Chains A and B, each alone.
Chain A
């Protein structure tokens, strides 16, 4: 299929999907607690996903992120709290009555059914008219670029193709919300990147579709999500718009889980507030950074600076110039990663490949813009 033809098909599919009114319902967790055999695995989760939003829920294994998704799907029953889809309280509804589309890590395609039968499964389960079933098979497979594979069995498809079919199957029933549980983790890096682009494109085609995206991969979350929720030990530890959460993490765990972070122990300078900015001291150096959004007990804090926000300071740079000693230099193809030490603390910078990187043992000065550094409480994670 040519690019123009493909684009035309996508446009038609998108328009059809919009006309069919896919979704537009948000998701709400109101103090949801889930326990298995008395052990709490999700604790008082309160979170709202706006209609049409992609919310990524990330966290390490056992953090409760998949449990949260399963609570929306109806596969686990909360011991406390309510789950909403749109305005409907679905806590007591069985999974088949919740109007959700779901895509899981291993695709879970039905192996004895052809691609078209997989896509039609949900519609036939809902006793849709056969004409609508045929129309939906065609449009949903076209939407994910799999129209030519309708007659194949899942075993005849690659991992990426299987994932596309799984997405088409989930969208075919016109779900109110789409639940994605680690949908790309079984794919290799190259296909994963391509599928991320596909998912982003799909959401542009279906902007009213609400997506709850569970992953442990922060790159997927940052690439795709409008907002990110970070879970740890069954609790929500941070939540906010993706860029904001990345640049202004509220705590140490969020800072370290969402990308690499330099966390430098600093002391607040007395009377240092300058509106949105403030001054802190690291060793003998006074630095300017974003003022904290929360009280910092004892005037101690961690200064969070992302490695790519650091640069080697040009001579004469006075503000936010941090003396440091190079410990190691790694060339990573499209970047250089330099490990340094400043005021007894390790610090890392990443930058575009340098023609003459400073050798280990060299004393340099690092610079970062004040609005690229944020303070987080030192005693809390």
Chain B
């Protein structure tokens, strides 16, 4: 073929990759990094406008903060553990123990995810509160003048409400993960002599570990930062970091202290997220393409 009939060489694509990064960076900067920087900056600024770390020393050394940090971690860990236990059990039943309506129940899980968290707290007040349905019925039945159930306005009430709200966050990835487990694996394990417990421990749990970690860590992050439930239940003596930030900023107008606590809260969240990534990597998340 004569060379003059050859097609012209294709023009090299223009270097436009850098420009595409700008819009998302601008959005992120405006909505996330700038407010974050403001909070961090404020946390190091005294009332007189001097940059100093002294507020950190004062806040971190205070009993109120330590109490709030302890409550935050305790409630988050307990609620997450409850969510994992309940979510794993429910997902297991919905997937492997066929019963009429199982699919509908699985769909209902999604609707709970869509509900605002304070709504559950409100519902709990109606049901388990001192003047709630359950206590009313029990008082009528027993003739007592004191509500027999008195757990709602304590850390247990918060934990129970958080378990109710966040269990679907564990169930959803677990249900997806369980649906990928080959039935043949379970059947072969059973034919080899394994009972239900061994199959759950050695076949189902390892396969579901990345989903369990993903759901669990999400649950942990959400419960660490949960505000609506704690605020709405108003449990006596149960102050968490987000609630403390609210108290300092809105009720006491102490913005510097509020920002210090917020920074600690953010650091706690990031540390938990880093822990999750590490665990996921060690427990097979890399194989599942999750790290």
Residues of A within 8 A of B (CB): 73-75, 94-98, 100-102, 104-106, 108-113, 121-122, 125-126, 166, 169-170, 173, 179
Stretch from B7-15, B190-198, B238-246, B261-269 contacting the other chain: B190-198
The answer, yes or no, to whether B271 is at the interface (CB within 8 Å) is no
Q: Measured between alpha carbons, how far is A179 from B203 in the docked complex, in Å? A: 21
Q: List 17 A-B contacts (CB under 8 A).
A: A74-B190, A74-B191, A75-B190, A96-B194, A102-B192, A104-B184, A104-B187, A106-B184, A110-B185, A110-B189, A121-B189, A121-B192, A122-B193, A125-B189, A126-B193, A169-B192, A170-B192
- For the complex of A and B, the 3 pairs showing the least CB-CB separation, nearest first, are A122-B192, A108-B184, A125-B194
Q: Measured between alpha carbons, how far is A33 from B45 in the docked complex, in Å? A: 81
Contact A125 B182 (CB under 8 A): no
Indicate with 1 or 0, residue by residue over B242-272, a CB within 8 angstroms of chain A CB atoms.
0000000000000000000000000000000
Contact B182 A96 (CB under 8 A): no
Q: Measured between alpha carbons, how far is A145 from B185 in the docked complex, in Å? A: 23
Contact A121 B187 (CB under 8 A): no
Extra contacts besides A73-B187, A94-B190, A125-B198 (20): CB < 8 Å: A74-B190, A96-B190, A96-B191, A96-B192, A96-B195, A98-B191, A100-B191, A101-B192, A102-B191, A108-B187, A110-B203, A111-B207, A112-B207, A122-B192, A122-B194, A125-B192, A169-B192, A173-B192, A173-B193, A179-B191
The answer, yes or no, to whether B206 is at the interface (CB within 8 Å) is yes
Partner of A125, one of B187, B193, B206: B193
Residues of B within 8 A of A (CB): 182, 184-185, 187-195, 198, 202-203, 206-207, 284
How many contacting A-B pairs (Cβ < 8 A)?
Answer: 67
Min C-beta distance of A37 to chain B, whole Å: 12
Which secondary structure dominates chain B's binding surface? Answer: helix
Residue of B whose beta carbon sits closest to that of A153: B287
Q: Measured between alpha carbons, how far is A111 from B210 in the docked complex, in Å? A: 14
Min C-beta distance of B155 to chain A, whole Å: 37
Check A95/B191 contact, CB under 8 A, given A106-B182, A112-B206: yes
Q: Measured between alpha carbons, how far is A102 from B185 in the docked complex, in Å? A: 11
Min C-beta distance of A213 to chain B, whole Å: 16
Q: Measured between alpha carbons, how far is A166 from B281 in the docked complex, in Å? A: 28
Contact B193 A96 (CB under 8 A): yes
Min C-beta distance of B7 to chain A, whole Å: 40
Residue of B whose beta carbon sits closest to that of A121: B192
Min C-beta distance of B264 to chain A, whole Å: 38
Q: Measured between alpha carbons, how far is A193 from B189 in the docked complex, in Å? A: 28
Most buried by B among A95, A122, A126: A95
Q: Measured between alpha carbons, how far is A169 from B189 in the docked complex, in Å? A: 10
Min C-beta distance of A164 to chain B, whole Å: 15
Return chain B residues, CB-CB under 8 Å to A112. 206-207, 284
Contact A121 B185 (CB under 8 A): no
Return chain B residues, CB-CB under 8 Å to A106. 182, 184
Residue of A whose beta carbon sits closest to that of B198: A125
Return chain A residues, CB-CB under 8 Å to B193. 96-97, 122, 125-126, 173
Q: Measured between alpha carbons, how far is A101 from B191 in the docked complex, in Å? A: 7
Q: Measured between alpha carbons, how far is A122 from B188 in the docked complex, in Å? A: 9
Return chain B residues, CB-CB under 8 Å to A101. 191-192
Q: Measured between alpha carbons, how far is A96 from B202 in the docked complex, in Å? A: 15
Return chain B residues, CB-CB under 8 Å to A170. 192
Return chain A residues, CB-CB under 8 Å to B194. 96, 121-122, 125
Min C-beta distance of A132 to chain B, whole Å: 14
Residue of B whose beta carbon sits closest to that of A173: B192
Min C-beta distance of B181 to chain A, whole Å: 10
Return chain B residues, CB-CB under 8 Å to A75. 187, 190
Min C-beta distance of A72 to chain B, whole Å: 10
Q: Measured between alpha carbons, how far is A110 from B193 in the docked complex, in Å? A: 15
Contact B207 A95 (CB under 8 A): no
Q: Measured between alpha carbons, how far is A105 from B194 in the docked complex, in Å? A: 20
Return chain A residues, CB-CB under 8 Å to B191. 73-74, 95-96, 98, 100-102, 179
Min C-beta distance of A332 to chain B, whole Å: 36
Residue of B whose beta carbon sits closest to that of A96: B193
Return chain A residues, CB-CB under 8 Å to B198. 125
Residue of B whose beta carbon sits closest to that of A128: B193
Q: Measured between alpha carbons, how far is A166 from B185 in the docked complex, in Å? A: 11
Return chain B residues, CB-CB under 8 Å to A109. 185
Residue of B whose beta carbon sits closest to that of A122: B192
Residue of B whose beta carbon sits closest to that of A103: B188
Min C-beta distance of A246 to chain B, whole Å: 31
Q: Measured between alpha carbons, how far is A105 from B188 in the docked complex, in Å? A: 11
